[in-house]
Every structure is written in structure tokens, then in C-alpha cells.
Amino acid sequence: MTKEGSPAVPFGGELLSTSVKKVLLDRIMHGHYKPGERIVELQVAKELGTSQSPVREALRDLAAIGIVTFHSRRGARVRLPTSKELADISLVRSELDALAATIASPLMDESILAELRTTFEEMQAHQAERNFVAMTQADARFHRIIATTSANEAIQHVFDQLEPFARTFITLTLPRVDIGSIIAEHQTILEALERRDAVSAAVAARTHQRNVSALFENHFQAELLRDTGGGGAA
């Protein structure tokens, strides 16, 4: 029996382990699997109607980006990251996103800008609804559009490695943190891109991620420990 509210399995059109990975990520972000909780391969396989092999592969992928710890004998558990880990990732993202904005700025056309505007509006709407999972998904889409527009495969690869880690765990602390100013910073990035102002876009993107880094450093650990009663597996 699946946990109540678990998302439907989007199998089809991609590797089975990739689909399982997406489901597990969504479940972690929705709080169905909490920090320190064990994810049982056999149970997940039964819930999703697969063998254990794609579940194990998905868990190994999640372990590679630090979202779970995976041991062949003890199974997998959702990690409780440190605030420094999350802050460090956002600090790296600050330079990555600045570079992406610099390269992408002159390549922006009206269709891409329209997509960014729509995504920013969705972000604001989800924030107002306090739907933090959907809000972080829109946030990730906003930054991914810029990374993709840069047409730099190295930027896109590093972005895809770093983005799920922070996005997964930030949803656990957002309900108690005022992030209005963080969300509003996307407007500054967007306006610079609309002007094709590469310098201003880079500054805005860098500043935004540095502020996210400070959010993790100052708020994440205390809030998450409060929710989990100080528990969690390292």
C-alpha cells in the first residue's frame, strides 16, 4: 500500500530507474520519507509494480547526490544534511548561475523570456498558496531554463547534479521561513535578461544564490532538527 498522497508513477518514455528516482524524490520533498527514515527496496518495488533492481539503482543515484545514504546490507535512509552542506552548494550555484546568465543573456529570445515570466508568476502563485513543493519546482524550472539557454553542456550537467539536493531539503524548512524577498529576486534576474544585460544578470543571479546560501546557513538546521526531534541518520 502506498503512502497517502504519494505521486503517481510516471513510467514510460524513460529508464525505469529514472522514473523510480523521480517518485522517490517527490516523496522525500512531500515529507513522506523524512530525514533518518529507511526506504525499503522491496516495499517500494511492490508499491510501484517493479522489480527491486530499478529501485536499487534509483537509490544509488540519490546516494550519489547526497540525498540518501545507501548500504548494501543496511539499505537506504534519507540523509539529514548539515546546513553547511546546503549553504556550500548554493555558494557554488552562485557562480554557476552567474556564468549561465552571462552566456544566456544575449541568446534570450521572446519565447524564452515569456517562459521565464510564466514560470516566475507560477512561483509567486505557489508561494501565496503555501504550496512549497510546487514553488520549488517552479524555481528549479526558472533556473534550468537559463542554464539550458546557455547551451553549455558542462553548466547543464553540474546544474543537474546540484539542483535536486538543495530543492529537496529546502521544502522541509520553508513553512517557517519568510522567503518573500528570495522569491522577489527572480524579478531582478528576469529584468536584466529582458534587457540582455549580461553583467547585471550575472550579478543578480549570483546575489540570489548567495542569499539562498545564507538562508540555509541561518535557518535550515534548526528548523529541520525541530521537525525531526533532533534525529536523523548521517
Both 47 and 163 in one domain: the answer is no
What was the pLDDT predicted at 4? 40
What was the pLDDT predicted at 178? 75
Does residue 49 belong to any structural domain of this protein? yes
What was the pLDDT predicted at 233? 33
Does residue 11 belong to any structural domain of this protein? no
What was the pLDDT predicted at 223? 53
Both 96 and 69 in one domain: the answer is no
The CA distance from 136 to 88, in Å, is: 19
Task: Work out how many domains the chain is built from and give that number.
Answer: 2
Give 176-182 contacts, CB < 8 A, sequence gap 24+.
176/219, 176/223, 177/215, 177/219, 177/223, 179/127, 179/215, 180/127, 181/211, 182/208, 182/211, 182/212, 182/215
Domain boundary among 60, 78, 96: 78
Both 115 and 213 in one domain: the answer is yes
Q: CATH number for the domain including 165?
A: 1.20.120.530
Both 95 and 74 in one domain: the answer is no
pLDDT tens digits, 101-126: 999 999 999 999 999 999 999 999 99
What was the pLDDT predicted at 8? 39
Both 69 and 87 in one domain: the answer is no
Both 21 and 43 in one domain: the answer is yes
What was the pLDDT predicted at 9? 47
Q: Biggest alpha carbon distance in the chain?
A: 55
Both 122 and 151 in one domain: the answer is yes
What was the pLDDT predicted at 218? 78
Given a contact cutoff of 8 angstroms between Cβ atoms, the answer to whether 83 and 220 are in contact is yes
Domain boundary among 32, 53, 78: 78
Both 107 and 189 in one domain: the answer is yes
What was the pLDDT predicted at 220? 63
Domain containing 189 equals 83-228
Domain boundary among 78, 106, 121: 78
Does residue 9 belong to any structural domain of this protein? no
What was the pLDDT predicted at 109? 97
- Which of the residues in the chain have pLDDT under 70? 1-14, 166, 168-176, 220-234
Both 68 and 180 in one domain: the answer is no
Both 55 and 108 in one domain: the answer is no
